[in-house]
Structure 1
Amino acid sequence: MHYQRFAAISLGCALLSACGGGGGGGGGVNSTSPPPSANANSSLVNLQYSEDFIGRAAIIRYNVSRATGGATVRDPRENLGAQIRYDAVNKTYLLAGTTYPSSTFGPANRDAASSGAVITAYEKVSGNRQENLALFNPGPANTELALTYASYGALQTITDNGATVDVATAFFTYGVQTAASDMPRTGSVNYRTRIDGQYADATGVYSVSGPSSFSANFGAGTIAFSMDPVGQNVVTGGTKSLGSHTMTGSIAIGNQFNASTEFSRPYGSSVAGYFYGPGAAELGGTFLIRDNTGGSGAGAGIVVGKKN
């Protein structure tokens, strides 16, 4: 199961007016997390302590016409720092530090039917508003990519206004960051990567996946990232090529990276993120895509990877 498919299926369900209200409301979960523990988790597998994990979030907002399925992207489209706040007492997650509305998800909101070895899914429904959180499961049981120190997720709100559906989606990565003193200073490394995201334009809303690659030259302090994203319409299943993106960028402030393409291309893009784990064992970042052909399309998503 493709991780981002969860949010895409939920949106497609809403557009077809066939959604069920399985998640319920807040479920009595405390929305205020306690202060982080003095202890720190050594990985994301079997979390033991409350902690604020530093990461990034790429946010896209759009309105969808139920009659046509076409989307109108609303600004701003953002790629910014974020925190994933884990509460070890209540086993809850909260996306904080962004302009996205905060919402806490815990065991009472878990959607068992949509959860499995690859993702854990959560859902809240209140009136005409639905919130979905999907987290990519770290650990060796994940058959798509077994991450230990980094992970990612999608938080989506869907507000049904009848003729239109308002959607906001935040894609985020987070994890146990590589200490600046532990960053490699020599050599080059290739990472096995995956991308996930969403794209919206006048023709519809698309879940995004496709091949990608990432390499880091730690001696030179540079990175190279490429992706060939393909969108799949969440209602019709039709596909759309979103261009070929090759970016070169830099490693800065110890464990961060960033890169971008020329935005004069048919589809421009940018990426930014962090290295995670001992010796930059893994990475996680977020990207934006912009249509430069005269249309108003835009996309947002994540890239995660681990050393080959």
Structure 2
Amino acid sequence: MARMIIRTLGRAAKWSPAALAFALAACGDGGGVASSNLPNTPPSPPPKPTNADLVGSLISESFVNDARTETAYMPITSARPNTVTSSPLTIAYNASTQAYTVTTQGRTQDFGPAQKDATLTNADATVYKRTDGTLTETLSLSKNSSSPGTPDAPRFRYVGAGLWQRTQTDASNSTTTMDYFTYGVPTPASAMPNSGTATFAVRVDGEAGYSKYILVLQGSGRFSVDFASGKLSGSGKIDGYVDGRITLSNLAWSSQASLAAGGTTFSGSFKTGDRQGGLSGRFYGPNHEELGAVWDSKLLDNVVASGTILGRDTATMPSNTSLADLLINEDLGGLARSVQYSKSAATNTYVALNLNRVDGDTLDIDYSETQHALVLGGERTGLNGLRGPLTSAIKDNAASDATYDVYSARDLTSQNRDGTFRISRPGPGNQLIALTYTGFGNYESAEVKPSASSPQYVDTAFGFGLSTPASAMPRTGSANYTGIIVGYSGLPSGGAMRPYAISGDVQMAYDFGGAKLAGTLNPVATDRDTGTAYALGAYTFSGQGDAGKSTFAGTFDKVLNVPGTGNTNGAVTGQFTGPHAEEFYASWHAGMIDPKGGSNIDMGGVIVGKQSN
């Protein structure tokens, strides 16, 4: 092109060699002066600075975002149905005025320090408010933090959520527009991986317009991302509130989405219950630490909903590494076995209940990050009526020692019972067995106000722990485990004594390749009144693990006839704990011969142990 221009010019004028060389260089042919360096060519403007995160003071910026607009009418009519649309939105911050400007669908508004509403602002959001006659406008912006939070209470550094809400009231009618958006510091395309997976803890917010009120939606859940396939999958629960009162509980939500090829954005479906809407969003942060999205769906045929999702990669958050260092909410599971019996006031003897079996019992132990304590019962039934946090207020310091922390059972149950709840101390200081990921203990109780003829007693042994993820279970090799027994017998014949306390040791070998187990219990029965101990001999067991899971089960080789049960081998049911099956806990039961009375009775409890090789 340059030489064609010179040839054309050459026909009209005579060029000197120097002038010709300069012209060629100026046009980009050959070496010499580049066109961008010519005196009359202005330099390219430097890129505008952007915020590194949303924490603290911000510089002026018009933020990348995704948005949804919901229009809600009260009352809803067939001529004015509620709608949700996806339209471009601008959210800009002006550092000199400390004000935000929101613009969409021909509407625009500024919100600055003068509009900040202290009564509406809370720990989660900063709220600005404007009122002009019958029009009320609010802008709610989520608060950001350099702290990652926890999987059940994530906090966000690079992404924010906003809601610009406008309500126009006209007599008994009103129209509300809800512009939901997520914005922030987007992830560069070059920082997106093309392999691996990640799990994001998410917070869901939104609103749904009903005929007489706005339902505020709040929820949580998880998003799983497969970067190789570009697929995202999410699910969780949503609750609905009217004037702060919950009116909708545990509405299931789910989402399936796909990443844009070579990009950082994603889009897909969003379902509430069995009604489906849409979702669009993107990743935020220098290394895709967070995500933000807007969604819409329906709650009823004529009730639409929309809102935001903020998520943070759980790998960037704290986790529970041992029972001695619990930081975040965790379901610690549990297995238990109990024996129930009574005492006759007329004969002063013990009477067997429940066919004199040591039955499996419900146990659920959670750690609560808000209460900073282990909690019995969690969201499910507590152990024999025990529910509540194990706090220092109910701890019996005098009875506690290096092996067990002891708590008052009366403070953990609304039933007419009293007793003690002993729970093992984790770590090397435990004089019975030093465990990191596994806990155990016992619970012994009696009625506070016994019935005239038969006060009831309950003795329970239990185990729990940080379960090994199925994906982290070894698939080859084997390991040997050693541990202890905690349990009780059924009621001995004659009624002169309580059930035996069962202790002793256990050895177990596990073949990870074949998912097979074999082991031996060496139980010892102790008379709790006299302290006399009786060795019951070896009980061998074997069984099969569950391929792809971290649980196992087996049966004992010894068969005994137990009243109320018949001939039984007994059983072992267990759970591996620790990052890679370093420890375990298991429930067990088997028949035994009463060393004093000679009759066959049931026995059971838990075994806990750790790798010995």
Q: Give TM-score scaled by structure 1 length.
A: 0.77
Q: Does 2:584 match 1:305? A: no
Between 1:97-106 and 1:152-161, the stretch displaced more is 97-106
Q: What is the identity, as a one-letter code, of the residue corresponding to 1:168?
A: V
C-alpha displacement at 1:71, in angstroms? 4.4
Distance 1:64 1:210 in 2: 28
C-alpha displacement at 1:155, in angstroms? 2.5
C-alpha displacement at 1:60, in angstroms? 2.2
Instruction: Please give the secondary structure, in 2, of the residue aligned with 1:140.
Output: coil
Residue 375 of structure 2 is matched in structure 1 by 93
Q: RCO (CA 8 Å, sep 6+): is it higher in 1 or 2? A: 1
Residue 197 of structure 1 is matched in structure 2 by 487
Q: What is the identity, as a one-letter code, of the residue corresponding to 1:84?
A: I
Distance 1:257 1:162 in 2: 44
Q: 1:250 aligns with which of 536, 544, 547?
A: 544
Q: Does 2:567 match 1:285? A: no
Change (3 A) 1:199 1:95: farther
Query: What are the residue-to-residue correspondences of 1:48-197 with 2, within 5 Å?
Result: 48-65=327-344, 69-75=349-355, 77-79=358-360, 82-90=363-371, 91-95=373-377, 97=380, 100-104=384-388, 105-125=390-410, 129-159=417-447, 160-161=450-451, 164-197=454-487
Distance 1:120 1:143 in 2: 13
Change (3 A) 1:47 1:115: same
User: Are 1:274 and 1:283, in contact at CA under 8 Å, matched by a contact in 2?
Assistant: yes
Residue 233 of structure 1 is matched in structure 2 by 527
Distance 1:189 1:245 in 2: 20
Render the CA deviation track for 1:196-244: whole Å, top value 9, x for unaligned: 1111323432111123211111111111121121111111223344453
C-alpha displacement at 1:102, in angstroms? 3.2
Between 1:107-116 and 1:47-56, the stretch displaced more is 47-56
Distance 1:69 1:289 in 2: 25
Render the CA deviation track for 1:64-83: whole Å, top value 9, x for unaligned: 45755544142564336642
Instruction: Please give the secondary structure, in 2, of the residue aligned with 1:195.
Output: strand
Residue 25 of structure 1 is matched in structure 2 by none
Gaps of 5+ in 1: 1-34
Q: 1:44 aligns with which of 323, 333, 345?
A: 323
User: Are 2:540 and 2:557, in contact at CA under 8 Å, matched by a contact in 1?
Assistant: no
Instruction: Please give the secondary structure, in 1, of the residue aligned with 2:490.
Output: strand
Between 1:183-192 and 1:254-263, the stretch displaced more is 254-263
Distance 1:81 1:158 in 2: 18
C-alpha displacement at 1:55, in angstroms? 2.4
User: Are 1:147 and 1:306, in contact at CA under 8 Å, matched by a contact in 2?
Assistant: yes
Q: What is the identity, as a one-letter code, of the residue corresponding to 1:206?
A: Y
C-alpha displacement at 1:95, in angstroms? 3.8
User: Are 2:560 and 2:600, in contact at CA under 8 Å, matched by a contact in 1?
Assistant: no
User: Are 2:327 and 2:369, in contact at CA under 8 Å, matched by a contact in 1?
Assistant: yes
User: Are 1:71 and 1:202, in contact at CA under 8 Å, matched by a contact in 2?
Assistant: no
Instruction: Please give the secondary structure, in 2, of the residue aligned with 1:279.
Output: coil
Change (3 A) 1:306 1:92: closer
Distance 1:80 1:232 in 2: 22
CA RMSD of aligned residues (A): 2.9
Change (3 A) 1:57 1:304: same
Instruction: Please give the secondary structure, in 2, of the residue aligned with 1:113.
Output: coil
Render the CA deviation track for 1:221-269: whole Å, top value 9, x for unaligned: 1111211211111112233444531110111151001111257336743
C-alpha displacement at 1:62, in angstroms? 1.9
Gaps of 5+ in 2: 1-150, 154-200, 202-317, 563-568
User: Are 1:71 and 1:200, in contact at CA under 8 Å, matched by a contact in 2?
Assistant: no
Q: Give TM-score scaled by structure 2 length.
A: 0.41
Residue 29 of structure 1 is matched in structure 2 by none
Residue 574 of structure 2 is matched in structure 1 by 273
Q: What is the identity, as a one-letter code, of the residue corresponding to 2:325?
A: N
Change (3 A) 1:165 1:108: same
Sequence identity (%): 27
Q: What is the identity, as a one-letter code, of the residue corresponding to 1:57?
A: A
Distance 1:81 1:164 in 2: 24
Q: Which has the greater radius of gyration?
A: 2
